[in-house]
């Protein structure tokens, strides 16, 4: 019996990994999984996984394990990914285009609605099925379509300025590929995915 208690970020950050692993297991034809197996696969302890899941409900069968299909359904509900979220990409450079062409969004609850750039050379060019739009019309389109999520793939120098426009237009979540911190109001969520940051986290541990 879960209480409507507040869930920590630490727990929330693990749930997408559980979902990813479960989808993988399901695609391999498995029906049931133990917290132990899931933990080994993800490098997370079994009690940790049981505790995380138990915060949201009793999804397992004692003596048996977890039904994979059911757990996937539950996790999608918890993470609000049992719908399709529309996203805009800002920046049609290498990273923006690569993300626009990424095939793995739609199965997992996300869809690119539009891609924007402010470079006249790029505006009007095709990226897969999309035509790059002028940033000028971006705020209006985001408001009209009530889009909540943006992928920021612009140069560092423009990142804050574009972020301000996005937030003003009603964006509530930003996946930030620009190599710079951006400042937003407290009700907007940001995930910073600068590859160099993650490389540097690893080089600390490497022998020179």
Partner DNA sequence: ATATGTGAAATCTTTCACAGCG
Partner DNA sequence: CGCTGTGAAAGATTTCACATAT
Q: Which one among 2, 8, 16, 137 touches a second copy, defined by CB under 8 A?
A: 16
How far lies 157's CA from each of 37, 118, 160, 178, 195, in Å? 45, 13, 7, 9, 17
d(CA 145, CA 116): 15
205 burial type by CB count under 10 A (0-12 exposed, 13-18 middle, 19+ buried):
exposed
**Residue placing its CB nearer to DNA in the complex, 28 or 64:** 64
Q: Which residue has the tokens 């300025």?
A: 161
Beta carbon of residue 53, minimum distance to a second copy (angstroms, whole number):
14
56 binds a second copy (CB under 8 A): no
43 binds a second copy (CB under 8 A): yes
Q: Which one among 20, 48, 148, 160 touches DNA, defined by CB under 7 A?
A: 48
61 binds DNA (CB under 7 A): yes
Q: Are strands 126-127 and 130-131 parallel, antiparallel or unpaired?
A: antiparallel
Q: Which one among 63, 83, 120, 121 touches a second copy, defined by CB under 8 A?
A: 83
Strand partners, 65: 61
Partner from a second copy, DNA, none binding residue 58, C-beta < 5-8 Å depending on class: DNA
Partner from a second copy, DNA, none binding residue 92, C-beta < 5-8 Å depending on class: none
Q: Are strands 65-67 and 60-61 parallel, antiparallel or unpaired?
A: antiparallel
Q: Which one among 33, 71, 72, 99 touches a second copy, defined by CB under 8 A?
A: 99
84 binds a second copy (CB under 8 A): no
Both tokens of 28, joined, read 């391999």
208 binds a second copy (CB under 8 A): yes
Within 10 angstroms of residue 61's Cβ, the number of other Cβ atoms is 11
Partner from a second copy, DNA, none binding residue 29, C-beta < 5-8 Å depending on class: none
């Amino acid at each position: 019996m879960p209480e409507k208690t507040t869930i920590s970020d630490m727990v929330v950050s693990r749930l997408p990994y559980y979902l990813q692993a479960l989808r993988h297991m399901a695609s391999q034809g498995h029906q049931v999984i133990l917290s132990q197996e899931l933990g080994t696969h993800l490098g997370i302890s079994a009690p940790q996984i049981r505790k995380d899941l138990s915060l949201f409900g009793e999804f397992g069968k004692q003596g048996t394990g977890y039904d994979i299909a059911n757990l996937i359904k539950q996790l999608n509900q918890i993470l609000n990914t049992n719908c399709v979220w529309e996203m805009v990409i800002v920046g049609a450079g290498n990273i923006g285009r690569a993300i626009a062409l990424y095939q793995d969004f739609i199965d997992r609850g996300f869809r690119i609605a539009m891609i924007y750039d402010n470079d006249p050379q790029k505006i009007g060019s095709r990226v897969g099925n999309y035509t790059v739009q002028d940033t000028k019309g971006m705020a209006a389109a985001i408001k009209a379509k009530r889009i909540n999520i943006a992928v920021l793939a612009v140069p560092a120098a423009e990142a804050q300025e574009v972020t301000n426009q996005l937030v003003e237009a009603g964006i509530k979540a930003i996946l930030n590929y620009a190599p710079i911190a951006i400042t937003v109001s407290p009700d907007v969520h940001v995930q910073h995915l600068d590859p160099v940051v993650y490389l540097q986290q690893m080089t600390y541990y490497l022998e020179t």
